Structure 1
Amino acid sequence: MSNVIAMPRLVIRPGTETDRDAVVALVSGIWRETYALHLPPESTPAPEAAHIPDLVGDPAERGWVATLGDRVIGYGSVTANCVDQIWVPAPMRRRGIGSAILDRAIKDIRERGFTFAQAGCEDFNQPARQFLEAKGWHLIASQPQPLGDGRSCNALVFSRPLT
């Protein structure tokens, strides 16, 4: 006789203050992977102590966590009509997690009366760019962004209507 073990299901829920440490740990790992080849070598082994917590902000303020059971596997946040962040670790990508976070962010932006949304990423972040373009976002602007140590990239701005 076999026992069926229920698999945890993906849940997108509002972030809480108690999620902060898990979100900071999640984003720290993804940050290193994403920026390692593009920032000065001394800054990639560990981001500045304050950088990731400042980047994450307060998950309880317009932030959402994606969980499987008790495990935080994604994070997203918005400010005004901008999707500020979507973070999903590489092994968990292409499973609908980023899409679910983006859908929740768009719902929040739409509920507050905006008719367009914006999002951005650096030009070297091909997975983020491909994700946004596959979701119907259009590149509307690009501006140089210094990365330190004489390095730079272009910050890309995407937009899409919410109608």
Structure 2
Amino acid sequence: MPLTIRPATPADADAVAKIWYHGWQDGHLGNVPDALVRVRTRESFRERASDHVCDTTVAEVTGEVAGFVMVAGEEVEQVFVSSDHRGSGVAGALLAEAERLVRDGGHSCAWLAVAPGNARARRFYERCGWVDEGLFDNQAFGPDGPISVPCHRYVKDL
């Protein structure tokens, strides 16, 4: 499986949005407040993917976007892999790239937020050496202002 990690381009936004929407549904439905579910429409993911191209790195497998990460400062904001590529090493490669981007940005520690019920993601981060610092109140973007979402804060020294 030839895997390429590269910065996203505007042409990747639709593929990123599709992976993001389906992955978000898998990991978040039943694990986040209904107010957040209501505003996370397919269109919202398309808009956000287009708006965050500069912060996005994609993984390509045989020329197709298989997953992505978004990094802002010391935060790994998003990590999603298409269902077709889960378990193939794509997520690990993307997370390693996210860690490199955080480190190259001058930060010695990275962090990310995970919904408590997203057990698959929590196990993955722990296997990759991330440490759960406990619950905190994450402020997720909403069209009418932040939406409070209880999350676990995971950190990793770089």
TM bin, normalised by shorter chain, reads: 0.7 to 0.9
Q: Give 1 or 2: higher helix fraction.
A: 2
Match of 2:83 in 1: 90
Cα distance between partner residues in 1 of 2:37 and 2:60:
27
Equivalenced residue count is: 151
Tell me if 1:109 matches 2:102: yes
Cα distance between partner residues in 2 of 1:114 and 1:129:
22
Tell me if 1:159 matches 2:155: yes
**Once the two structures are superposed, what CA deviation does each residue of 1:68-111 show, in whole Å capped at 9, x if it has no partner?**
12211101010110111110133422211011001111111111
TM (norm. structure 1) is 0.78
Q: Which runs of 5+ in 2 are unaligned?
A: 141-147
TM (norm. structure 2) is 0.80
Cα distance between partner residues in 1 of 2:52 and 2:32:
26
Match of 1:24 in 2: 17
The correspondence for 1:36, drawn from 29, 32, 45, is 29
Match of 2:115 in 1: 122
Task: Judge which range, 133-142 or 78-87, deviates more.
Answer: 133-142
Tell me the CA shift for residue 48 of structure 1: 2.2
The correspondence for 1:136, drawn from 129, 136, 153, is 129
Q: Which runs of 5+ in 1 are unaligned?
A: 1-7
Cα distance between partner residues in 1 of 2:155 and 2:33:
30
Aligned-CA RMSD value: 2.8
Contact 1:140–1:159, Cα closer than 8 Å, also in 2: yes
Tell me the CA shift for residue 49 of structure 1: 4.5
Match of 1:5 in 2: none
**Considering only CA atoms, is the larger Rg found in Structure 1 or Structure 2?**
1
Cα distance between partner residues in 1 of 2:139 and 2:110:
25
Cα distance between partner residues in 1 of 2:38 and 2:85:
22
Cα distance between partner residues in 2 of 1:82 and 1:44:
22
Identity level (%): 25
Tell me the CA shift for residue 53 of structure 1: 3.1
